[in-house]
Amino acid sequence: MSNNLTIILVFCSILLYGIFALYSCAQEPFVQGKRIYEVNCGNCHMSDGHGLGDMYPDITKSDYFTSKKTDLICLIRHGKKGSVMESVIMPANKELTEVGINNLVNYLNYTWGDGSISKLDDVKTALANCQKD
Ligand code: HEC
């Protein structure tokens, strides 16, 4: 009798563990990158990335998340003068850490890009080689 109870207990524990593991996997990855996006980028490009009319570009199909990933890192750090309207700029983000930028880039690639994983070393190398203007 007590043997059966043990088996049932072990079975339940495994079941609970499985449910927990599944639940953890279903959570959205890159939570920190998402938070940084919402604080530093979402005001202009909006949570869904579609931007705001002619002022702030839609970034959901941007090639910065596929073929221009090195430029993306410099764009985040140093911003960009508006090419359409001079008064509309993309601001620099001097306060973001390299780890923060890496998390942000991973969130962006996962959400709107090719899903590739950025490594901290990629961020460091890119930042060291940004074109200054
Ligand atoms: C104050 C508004 C503002 C904020 C905040 C902002 N951006 Fe921008 N962003 C712009 C503007 C304006 C442009 C267009 C610059 C130009 O004229 O080329 C732009 C361009 C871009 C582009 C290039 C789009 C393309 O394909 O040409 C990307 C990618 C981008 N922003 C990502 C970000 C990310 C990531 C953040 C947060 C770190 C951010 N932006 C924060 C205004 C903003």
Nearest residue to 36 (alpha-carbon basis) of 77, 82, 88: 77
Domains of the chain: 29-128 (1.10.760.10)
The per-residue pLDDT for 13 is 75
Q: How far, in Å, is the centroid of ligand 1 from the Cα of 17?
A: 42
Q: Decide: 79 in ligand 1 pocket, CB within 6 A.
A: no
Whole-model pTM?
0.83
Atom of ligand 1 nearest to the CA of 37: 37
φ/ψ region of 88 (left if φ > 0, alpha if ψ in -120 to 50, else beta) reads beta
Instruction: Give the pLDDT of the chain (133 residues) as one tens digit per residue.
Output: 577 778 777 776 777 776 666 666 666 789 999 999 999 999 999 999 999 988 899 999 999 999 999 999 999 999 998 776 677 899 999 999 999 999 999 999 999 999 999 999 999 999 999 986 5
Ligand 1 close to Cβ of residue 57 (< 6 A):
yes
| pLDDT at position 15 | 76
Question: Taking a C-beta distance cutoff of 8 angstroms, is the pair 30, 103 a contact?
Answer: yes
Distance 22 CA to ligand 1 centre (A): 36
Of 59, 129, 122, 47, which Cα lies nearest the Cα of 90? 59
Paired with 56 in beta bridges are 52
- pLDDT, residue 38, reads 98
pLDDT at position 132, please?
A: 66
